[in-house]
A = this chain, B = another copy of it.
Amino acid sequence: MNKYVYLFREGDATMKNELGGKGANLAEMTNIGLPVPQGFTVTTEACTRFYADNKTIAPVIEAQIYEALAAMEKEYDKKFGDLENPLLVSVRSGSRASMPGMMDTILNLGLNDVAVEGLAKLTGNVRFAYDSYRRFIQMFSDVVMEVGKIKFHDALEDVKRENGTTQDTDLTADNLKEVVRRFKKIYFDAMGSEFPQDPKVQLMESIKAVFRSWDNDRAVYYRRMNDIPGDWGTAVNVQVMVFGNMGDDCGTGVAFTRNPATGENKLYGEYLMNAQGEDVVAGIRTPNPIESMKDTLPEVYEQFVKYADTLENHYHDMQDMEFTIERGKLYMLQTRNGKRTAAAALKIAVDLVEEGQLTQEEAVLKVEPKQLDTLLHPNFDEEALKGAQVITTALPASPGAAAGALYFTAADAAKAGKEGKDVILVREETTPEDIEGMDMARGILTARGGMTSHAAVVARGMGRPAIVGAGALQIDDVKKTMTVNGKTYKEGDNVSLDGTSGKVYEGLVATVETEVTGDFAKLMGWADEARTLKVRTNADTPRDTQHAVEFGAEGIGLCRTEHMFFEADRVKAMREMILSDNAQQRKAALDTILPFQQKDFEEMYIVLEDRPMTVRYLDPPLHEFLPQLSMKDEIAAIAKELGTTSEAIVEKINQLHETNPMMGHRGCRLAVTFPEIAEMQTRAVLQAALKVRKEKGINVKPEIMIPLVGTLKEFQFVKKIVMDTAEKIFTEQNDRIEFQVGTMIEIPRACVVADKIAAEAEFFSFGTNDLTQMTFGFSRDDAGMFLDAYYTNKILESDPFARVDVEGVGALMQMAVEKGRSARPNLKLGICGEHGGDPSTIEFCHQIGLDYVSCSPFRVPIARLAAAQAAIKEKQAKK
């Protein structure tokens, strides 16, 4: 028979999966002899079964709960619902990962009309007993039965007013009896039945409520944000009550073994005498700093310090503890690894190594990779933020804080930026043409698009804070205004963007640079020693490359060459090429572009030094280089510039129109129809490489990447253009250079025939953005129309464009890895989709044996840390 219920003394810290974090730690504290009020944990497996059984608790589980309850009655010599010596318990949720979205705690469970008298007798304190009872009725009604809090609050206020007071503490025992009477009536009116008097019913209902809370909207949302699987379930902890509110020799508090904001190695916390936990939270009385207990309760303090040390030394991590003092005796109610800021996380990890508590590898595991984001970007000053007015909140697409004046076109933004203004670029959505304006802006705000929209991807690459998909904005880029909730902002008005929270503030909010300490370098050094996965970057400019190299990038995993075609001189030639009628005209236009592209590569090679650079050949559909049909002025201007008519351009735009451009004429399909583009790009890549090697003595390592390949023959076709052109160049220059030709794996078919492609391709780089789109059949530009419904209905648990869908997309990746390596054992494997900077995806990439991940420059440290953690976890698992 499955064991669904564990007494605290039956578990230990290793049983987190079954008992949840809280339960496992309560068991562990019990084992190491700390004073823990005893109790039991109903396992996460019971929760899973609860859902399988159509949200009921199976008799076998119920029996085990009652058995554990009986053990508690025996241990404490108390009885559930007893008139003499009633057993009271708390009920709390506790999943494997800390989840604030779940159920609140229920205290004082077990009280009823009889037991309240028992409690009064036992404590000699009628007022305390009825105060506890009324608190319990309210909590149970609210949390378990979802009877709104407000009625209870009103009833309590009524009684206070009737008795001429405004303070709870002024209410007498009789007053509280009246409160209890009224509370029970509220319950009856709402539920149509009496408040349950049977403590066992109270308990079972509470346990069910915890299980249900696992699937409430907040919890689902939190799980999605934090990559927690929906099938983990939550455990329930039932613990015998101790009381911090029984008198002046009682109290309750929370404390950290170190400072969670700075990491300073000094006990940090606060407590209240004669109070229950909820009073500390409610903020009616101001708690005292933990140090002050040294004077008021020196023995308890000394004991607490000892326990705190024991726990930190036991867990080798900063602990976040709750405690209660009942009649002078200290009880430990909870301990867990404490949440901390990024700076504190680094300091604590490094300190713990220096104190000999952790190995370097263990320390590496203590820092949350995503947290590093806040270290690498400026953030808003916490104080300044308090007074700031939020205009709207949308998707936090690229982290960091930015403040400046609104500009509504890329051209205006670029101009203002060059004049030294702090610019916030606002667009309906950005297009590749906006690139210069984006680059000159402090921050970017769009009304449309998701986390992998153009604005989001480019902003992250540039390290520019960005908020996207702000649907509440109505943008008028003719009038140059944006309206939100009835208020209109015009060009030059100041706003501030928090790209980490997605909040847009009115006016200029002051920012602060986070200080990067030596701890960062130290920890990253240990991470680099541990990881096997290399970390590259996605970069298209020398400046991005420079940033990435400073952040530790070991090469470029994705240089999107199309970004190089949008600057004024080049886009003209590009448009000439597109408007050409034949290969000859196209070649002439491409000849104009060649020197620009070659120069870009030269500059990037010089920054990279000996590091490899993967250059992706032209990928987007050509219509992206032409304006939209509605932009008549731009069309006329381009026609004039190119010496043709608006009609000719309109005709070409119509001709290039595609119903589903994502699956249209792009990627290697461009090289098949216009081989001269691939020829030009090969010249740019290799001529630049030969030149830089010759002039600078740099051992340049170009890797040519053919995008959107789905069949071997496609790859062969384009590779032949590359090889033939290369041989021409080498003959012309009487000089050669080594280079590789590989492909992006981003079409499902490519995964299926990866063995065939690998026979010719020297490397694969997973383009997981497109691979996710095609594997799911989701257009990332459109999926917003239904993805919310998918999250609400729990069809999807996380955004497949942010975190690789391991079950589907991941299975195809693994297939490609296995097939590819079967045909070419030394095949180089990487990932260059947006997912390459996501820690959980990086762990998956490590598991399936990729050689490297590539991500935007500002994510490089995150990727290094995540890669190290993946390697260390694997090593630990093997032990």
Contacts and interface: CB of A to CB of B under 8 A. Distances in A.
Contacts of A667: 777
A81 to B, nearest CB: 40
Contacts of A730: none
A749 B770 contact: no
A238 to B, nearest CB: 32
Contacts of A293: none
Contacts of A753: 807-808, 811
A310 interface: no
Nearest to A772: B749
Interface in A157-180: none
A809 interface: yes
B710 A789 contact: no
Nearest to A787: B669
Interface string A784-814: 0110011001111000000001011101100
A753 B796 CA distance: 14
A355 interface: no
A17 to B, nearest CB: 22
Copies of this protein in the complex: 2
A87 to B, nearest CB: 42
Interface stretch (A125-133, A401-409, A654-662, A684-692): A654-662
A785 B623 CA distance: 13
A511 interface: no
A796 B664 contact: no
A756 B811 CA distance: 13
Contacts of A778: 663
A672 B714 contact: no
A155 interface: no
Contacts of A672: 786, 789-790, 793, 795
Contacts of A711: 795-796, 808
A87 B272 CA distance: 117
Interface string A338-377: 0000000000000000000000000000000000000000
Contacts of A748: 748, 774-775, 777, 808, 812
Contact of A779 (B658, B717, B786): B658
Contacts of A66: none
B808 A663 contact: no
Contacts of A808: 710-711, 748-749, 752-753
A137 to B, nearest CB: 36
A749 B808 CA distance: 5
B811 A752 contact: yes
A748 to B, nearest CB: 4
B713 A785 contact: no
Contacts of A661: 659-660, 779, 782
Nearest to A795: B713
A664 B782 contact: yes
Nearest to A777: B747
Contact of A777 (B663, B713, B794): B663
Contacts of A452: none
Interface size class of A (residues with CB under 8 A): 35 or more
B789 A776 contact: no
Contacts of A779: 658-664
A303 interface: no
Given A659-B782, A665-B786, A776 B749 contact: yes
Contact of A710 (B665, B669, B777): B777
Contacts of A805: 749
A766 to B, nearest CB: 14
A782 B749 contact: no
Given A662-B660, A812-B748, A777 B782 contact: no
**Which of A660, A669, A746 has most B Cβ within 10 Å?**
A660
**Which of A756, A789, A795 has most B Cβ within 10 Å?**
A795
A773 interface: yes
A781 interface: yes
Contacts of A774: 663, 748, 774-775, 777
B710 A658 contact: no
A708 interface: yes
Nearest to A792: B672
A776 B795 contact: no
A782 B673 contact: no
A714 B749 contact: no
Given A658-B782, A664-B785, A752 B775 contact: yes
Contact of A793 (B664, B717, B790, B796): B717
A809 B749 contact: yes
B796 A776 contact: no
Contacts of A773: 663
Interface in A734-768: 746-749, 752-753, 756
A708 B777 contact: yes
Contact of A781 (B659, B669, B717): B659
Interface in A797-855: 805, 807-809, 811-812
Nearest to A773: B663
A805 B712 CA distance: 13
Nearest to A786: B669
Nearest to A747: B777
Nearest to A808: B749
Contact of A663 (B660, B714, B717, B756): B660
A37 B577 CA distance: 59
B660 A782 contact: yes
Interface string A687-727: 00000000000000000000010110110010000000000
A559 B708 CA distance: 34
A714 B770 contact: no
A778 B669 CA distance: 10
A617 to B, nearest CB: 15
A652 to B, nearest CB: 13
A665 B786 CA distance: 7
Interface string A229-263: 00000000000000000000000000000000000
B665 A662 contact: no
A662 B812 CA distance: 21
A669 B778 CA distance: 10
Interface in A375-398: none
Interface string A583-619: 0000000000000000000000000000000000000
A717 B658 contact: no
Contacts of A783: 664
Nearest to A714: B795
Given A663-B777, A747-B776, A786 B752 contact: no
Contact of A776 (B658, B710, B807, B811): B710
9 contacts: A662-B779, A669-B789, A672-B793, A710-B808, A713-B793, A749-B809, A752-B811, A774-B774, A774-B775
Given A658-B781, A667-B777, A748-B777, 8 more contacts: A658-B782, A659-B662, A660-B781, A663-B778, A748-B748, A748-B808, A749-B776, A752-B775
A-B pairs, top 8 by smallest CB distance, nearest first, are A660-B779, A663-B779, A749-B808, A664-B782, A659-B781, A748-B748, A658-B782, A713-B795
